[in-house]
Amino acid sequence: MERHPARFFLEADDVVVGGPFPLQGQRDGAGVQFEIADELQLIDGLAVLAGNDDIYARCLDIGGAGGICVASHVCGNEMRRMYDEPDARAEIDASLQEVYEAMFITASPAPVKAALKMQGHDTGPLRLPLVECDETERTAIHDVLARHGLLAGVTTG
């Protein structure tokens, strides 16, 4: 799976930007384009939250406040353990990488809704233009959830 850096655009002559990540800027015809650098940093007076599952542990490691993460819907107990048990954080995070990837096997939120349905939650249908996961995607999601014990106690029917 290929990840693309987050981007946002501003139109301004003089731009001052503060955020949880160092930003690198390039001017283009539409304004200034910033790309998030690889380093996470805290900013005084700002509670930093991870916005991607795969940086949640790193965010906590630097003193971040938590995260707004997709995978927490399907493996919330483990993600809570990362918050509560810093000594086990790296191991838990490494064990969840496959779950993080499965939640983006296709356009979000289709995979997380499919996973939640497999866990017995009524999520309702997706709204157009989004479409449900296909059989191959559902099978991949199911297999990941099963390998991680995230279907325990779920009955089908």
Residue 3 sits at φ, ψ, to 5 deg, of -105, 145
Q: Where are the domains of the chain?
A: 1-39, 72-147
β-strand 31-36 against 49-50: which pairing, if any? Answer: unpaired
Cα separation of 19 and 48, whole Å?
9
Q: At what angle do helices 135-147 and 89-102 cross, to 10 degrees?
A: 160
User: How do residues 128-140 score in pLDDT, each as one tens digit?
Assistant: 899 999 999 999 9
Q: Confidence band (pLDDT; 50, 70, 90) for 120?
A: very high
Burial class (CB in 10 A: 0-12, 13-18, 19+), 106: middle
* Residue 27, Ramachandran bin (φ over 0: left; ψ between -120 and 50: alpha; else beta): beta
Q: Which of 19-23, 56-60, 74-78, 130-134 has the lowest mean pLDDT?
A: 19-23
Amino acid 22: pLDDT: 44
In this predicted model, what pLDDT tens digit does every residue of 71-104 receive, in sequence order? 999 999 999 999 999 999 999 999 999 999 999 9
β strands within the chain, DSSP E: 7-10, 23-28, 31-36, 49-50, 66-67
DSSP annotation of 94 reads H
